[in-house]
Structure 1
Amino acid sequence: MNSIQKKIWSLAAVVLFIMVVIWIALTYYNQKTQNQYNDILQRYLRMNEVSNASQQTVTTLNDYSLAPTQDKLNQLQRNKEQLIQAKYEIFDLRNADNDSAITNYVNLIDSLIETTDRSLMFKSEKESEESEKAFTEATRISKYISEMTLTLIDTELKTYDQFYRGIIEQSSELKKLGIWLLLSITFLLLLFTYAFSLSITRPVLKLTQAAKELSRGRFDLQVEVASNDEIAFLAKMFDRMRININNLFTEIQQKAQLEKELQDSKLLLQESQLRSLQSQINPHFLFNTLDTLSKKAYLEGSEETSDLLASVAGLLRYNLKRLDRSVTLYDEVKVLRQYMEIQKARFTDRLQFESDIDESVLYVQIPGLTLQPIVENAVIHAVEPQEDGGTIRFRITDAGERVFVEISDDGPGMEEDKINQILEARAVETGGHSTGIGFSNVMQRLRLFYGRDDVIEIESAEGQGTKILLKIPKTRGTEKDDQAPDRG
């Protein structure tokens, strides 16, 4: 670890240690005081609980005497149990100062319980006069318990009065101690910070002065810094830089000359590429020529050849569109049908194409050149290698918020590893695509276009064909296309 870092970490460690010590001391003192305060408060609450339980018992006994019911009898039993529980908790409050008072207090509780039981017994034996006397005695004992509770609480207050005063005095002393600690720590930190800043700023000032001289072109002044930290190392590197600057000037000139020659070479290469492009066939000229040949074939009576040339021209024109532009499903289905006409002319009866299209959802937006590469992939792998050809099924259905586009074939299927490669958008060698667009490219554009990953599913197994399911959202983000395109 470097010297400056050691200084910084040392300062941080000292501050952290002091803060931890202060925090532990304050936490210990606060917890100790809080525990003592809670113990005293529990004593008061237990005594008050006895008084409340005795009063509740007498009240319930009176209600039962006036109108005896099983519910009131059960309530009276629960009150007696609470009173007994409170009595046991009173034993924990016994000490040398209140031993006699606690003993009398417990005896009063026992007397109340006994008197209550006696009143119930007389009530059950229908001795109303004796029951009334027992109730009166229970009421009198309950009043004694309440008075005794107040007496005990008053005694407790007097006993712990000194404790409260001690807490107040300790809090005052703690505040004074905190102020002195704060002042002391602040003073020490100021001293340490001043010394630490000097150890850094002095060498930095020397380096700054040396940099000014270097900027003026004086490369003969040696940089010397009297320290043993990173700044000294920086000064040595600065001095080496001063020595190497002249060599760098020469290297920069050589690089400038080399860059000029490289730029000239790039210009020549661009000119060569331009000439090469000029020698290529213009695609627009090509599909215009195909249109002309189609019309000529039609006029000569070769209607099938004319339709085929028209399909090729339409497919070429569609493929010239930019891939980053969206189109409708209607456009994609249209070019797909043109593509299949070309393939049927090629494979004749070996290729069967079945379609089921819901016309009401063809307004949905989709990236250009999405469906044709997928179907072309099925033709290449499921139809072309098979001697008997194969069948491709194309289906578009409305699935609520999405449109499902299903493309399936009865070809040899795909292995699970290849399916995973496609779903993970890794390049897969498919070969032979007329558009130059592979399956992974289509899937990547779909995911980017809709901003989600769950837009494609692949079901396939060896010897069982392949089914591609596109889950096309009807809306793209907040964008909605509410009108179908003009299909005229």
Structure 2
Amino acid sequence: MDKFVGYLRKISIRRRLLYAFIILCVIPISIMIIISGAIEFLYYNDNIKRNYDNFTYESDIRVNDMFDQLELKFKYLKENNDILTDIYLYAISPIYQTEEVSNRIENTIASIVSNQEEISYAAIILEDGTSFSYMKILVDAKEISKGLEDGPSWSYVDYGQQPALCRTEMVEVDYTSGLKARYVILINLNAVKEVLDNAAGSAKQKIAITDIQDRVVAGSRFEKPELFYEVTVPILDTGLNINNTFIRTKYDLRGLITVTVIFLLVVAGTGSTSYLVHESIKIPLNRLLGRMERIEEGDIFIEPEEEADINSQDENEILNRVFTSMLNKLNEVLEETYTTNINETQLRTRIKELELVALQQRINPHFLYNLLDNIFWIAQMNNYEEIGEMVSALGEFFKTSVSEKGAFVSINTEIENVKSYVCLQKIMHKNQFDVIWKIDPGIVHYKTVKLILQPIIENCISHGFEGIEGGGIIHITGKKEADTIIFEIQDNGRGMEKDVCDGITLAMNDSILGVGDSIGMRNVNQRIKIYFGEPYGINIKSKITEGTTVSLCIPVKE
């Protein structure tokens, strides 16, 4: 390495830059063009297929995303508690068989599916033929429902002038009565074709959705003899496939020509830049060499007009400026030495003092930076700790309340959900209350309707402890008596008058909800009675200044 550097130092800067330009620019780019051209020519078909595989991957993601969105809409439709409750009451109670209830069901259906452009029709059809629907086009519900399977399925239907994809499933509305309803959505094939066209990554690609008989349901595909490459991928849980077909791309030299032109432009630009850099280095170096020659002749004083440009950031100009300053200071030192006769000891002492000052100037900023950095991270840690707890608890709460499928969860899941909710409330209320749990471990594996404890806990905190600062306690117990599971939530809050308690109980059990009634408690009570029957539900006892006790009874359910 030293020999190589020594060799370079023997030649001029111009020649060094020329060699560097050839080695670092011309040769690598030339080799890259030759190798890439050869690889592209030799592996032309493989490269095309790899590119087409990339197009297929991207288009499959977009098409599967569309079907995922459609399945998610269908899931929301099936699991909407408001629809299930209204359909159940509509089916079993003549009182609920009104136009208002029917409109409410259809409005809820519309609110779920109307923003999905591909869905042109959605309906819920009862076993007696009654249907609740949302439609962008006119559809005969009875005609559509003929021949559809009871289980979850996708199928291709042709009900006249406009064929469509159909997603249908027979859903159990109430497991105790065996009430079922058929859920149906129709997918507009024109909207699906638009999605497929947008998902195509090239004009040489066509995308189609095919059924198990390899019939084209939506979109289009290339057929022989123009077909060059084909990839078929199943759409999960639908019985349908995504069929990607491609035609051959003709090989041309435009890519190679373009790369060559770019190469020539790069060489020209790099060469011009190297020349300009060389000139910018040479000029100040020549000035510096000239001045050194003058010093060698004994002239160490620099005339003002010969000083370097103070605004220049060029290293050679800076070297000229420093060199000039060094000469001037050297002259001053010599003059001072001769005029003041500073001895060697004094000079060394001064140097030590300057070294100490310089060391102190290095230490102080270093200490200050470390101190500021520590203060910043301590502040970050203090701010994020409570936020982290709230985010974690909120995530656990929504994990059950939103992610759990169906209306039923295990009692253990319900308890964990309430604990997450209590954690959030304790943080929000600055730990002004405590919760004491006493749950029989033998009941945690049984099933319950989800979200039945949280509204009651919320009432304890919002109403029971209103106006009370600290000292609040909530006792939550759960036990099994015969074939019944009893939860008891007791607080030491301000309590209620008997007439207020009786009014809440009356509103909670009334089939018609009034404005301002206890919506959360009534919702829990009505859901328990709908799923488990009239003997089960909520009972409230309360006394002023002694607190409130809410008892909740449900049957044992495996």
TM-score range, shorter chain: 0.3 to 0.5
* More helix as a share of residues: 1
TM-score computed with the length of structure 1 as normaliser: 0.34
* More strand as a share of residues: 2
TM-score computed with the length of structure 2 as normaliser: 0.30
